[in-house]
Amino acid sequence: MQQLDERLKGQYASLSPQEQRVADLFSNHFDDLISYNRPSWRS
């Protein structure tokens, strides 16, 4: 299974401008998003 960043890079050119902005957000802040979404009871 491909990683999310690999899939985004592979499909980036076919994304709409809005989707590209979301893809950029994921690419630029992936580690922050992962830690933000982790339930506090698991820390």
Q: Tell me whether residue 42 is in a domain.
A: no
Give per-residue pLDDT as tens, 3-42.
888 888 999 999 999 999 999 988 888 777 767 666 666 5
Between CA 31 and CA 28 the distance in angstroms is 8
pLDDT, position 29: 81
Q: Report the distance separating Cα 20 and Cα 26, nearest Å.
A: 10
Domain that holds residue 22: 1-36
CB 23 within 8 A of CB 16: no
Cβ neighbours of residue 33 closer than 8 Å, sequence gap 6 or more:
26
User: pTM higher than 0.85, yes or no?
Assistant: no
For residue 27, is it within any domain?
yes
Query: Does residue 1 register a pLDDT over 60?
Result: no
When divided into structural domains, the chain yields a total of 1
Q: What is the per-residue pLDDT for 42?
A: 56
The enclosing H or E element of 30 equals helix 17-37
Does the residue 28 lie in any domain?
A: yes
Structural domain includes residue 43: no
